[in-house]
Structure 1
Amino acid sequence: MVAYRNAVAADADDVMSFWSTAAEDSHRPPDSSDAVLRLIERDPEALILAVDNDVVVGSIIVGWDGWRCHLYRLAVAPTHRRQGIGRRLVELAEDRFASYGGTRADAMVLDDNSQAHAVWSTAGYAPQPEWSRWVKPLSNT
């Protein structure tokens, strides 16, 4: 039975292991357990996990900056896909946004990740063609 909960510091290494097999990881700087720990420390409700017998099988990062609602790292283990886990993670994220009075959520989805497009589309999300994401890598110094 899959349970949903907020991540805790002890989950950081398990989350990294999970993302290495379940999440698209191209076109981004490498993640680290330290980054997961910083996220959890800053906002203990930001990383929602789906867990099956203490094994991470799903994740979503729910970012709220006080103005907008942002979704990142929606991933479901290949062994657990097509069971509604991704949909439930998005619902939990949207519930959190609603509790803050959020008015619009955006999701970071790679253009070439067609499998993810279907999930997000089913959840009611669509690309916004008039916007592009601009990025700048920051140094660790």
Structure 2
Amino acid sequence: MDDLAIRGAAPADAGRVLDFWRTAAEGTSISDDPDGVARLIARDPGALLLAEAGGVLVGTVIAGFDGWRCHLYRLAVHPERRRQGVARALLAAAEERFTALGGRRGDAMVLERNERAHHAWRSAGYAPEHHWRRWTKPFERTP
């Protein structure tokens, strides 16, 4: 993929990323709004990685590191660019980021029903850990 460039998102990219996720991402997140994306970019610059081809957004991944664990979210590739190495390039960039920050192992949020994603994650060397279960609790938003 000679035309593929990967970079960290800037604040001006928030709206573009949200539009892209509506087309390319499976499922939605409670943080899928301009404030959520802006907060991510401000809090952890470099965590939201964008793959662009000719200036067109073709893929994303969030590679967040909390100092203890390396977390991967929102791996999404435009439907017309799937199976062309975009996801692999994004994950390689995320892993480089984690290694530079001292990370030792990445974990990924992958929807169980998203069989297409399972193939991408497995081909990149990731595997499910069936002895773990994600527990969540949404927080109330205060004005």
CA 1:67–1:30 in 2, change beyond 3 Å: closer, same or farther?
closer
Structure 2 contact 31–37 (Cα < 8 Å) conserved: no
Structure 1 segments (4+ residues) deviating >4 Å = none
Structure 1 residue 30, shift from structure 2 partner:
5.6
- What is the aligned residue count? 140
Q: Who is 2:71 aligned against?
A: 70
Q: Who is 1:84 aligned against?
A: 85
Q: Who is 1:59 aligned against?
A: 60
Cα-to-partner distance string for 1:25-79 (whole Å, 9 max, x where unaligned): 25x4261011111111111111000012222110000110000000000000001
- Give the alignment's TM-score, normalised by structure 2: 0.94
Corresponding residue SS for 1:50: strand
- Structure 1 unmatched runs, 5+: none
CA distance in 2 between counterparts of 1:136 and 1:97 reads 27
CA distance in 1 between counterparts of 2:55 and 2:101 reads 29
- Give the alignment's TM-score, normalised by structure 1: 0.95
CA RMSD of aligned residues (A): 1.0
Residue 95 (str. 1) matches residue 92 (str. 2): no
Q: Who is 2:12 aligned against?
A: 10
CA distance in 2 between counterparts of 1:84 and 1:25 reads 22
CA distance in 1 between counterparts of 2:76 and 2:14 reads 15
Corresponding residue SS for 1:118: helix
Q: Who is 2:124 aligned against?
A: 123
Letter of the 2:139 partner, please give it.
Answer: L
CA distance in 1 between counterparts of 2:96 and 2:34 reads 27
CA distance in 2 between counterparts of 1:79 and 1:33 reads 25
- The more displaced of 48-57 and 109-118 is 48-57
CA distance in 2 between counterparts of 1:43 and 1:120 reads 23
Structure 1 residue 100, shift from structure 2 partner:
1.6
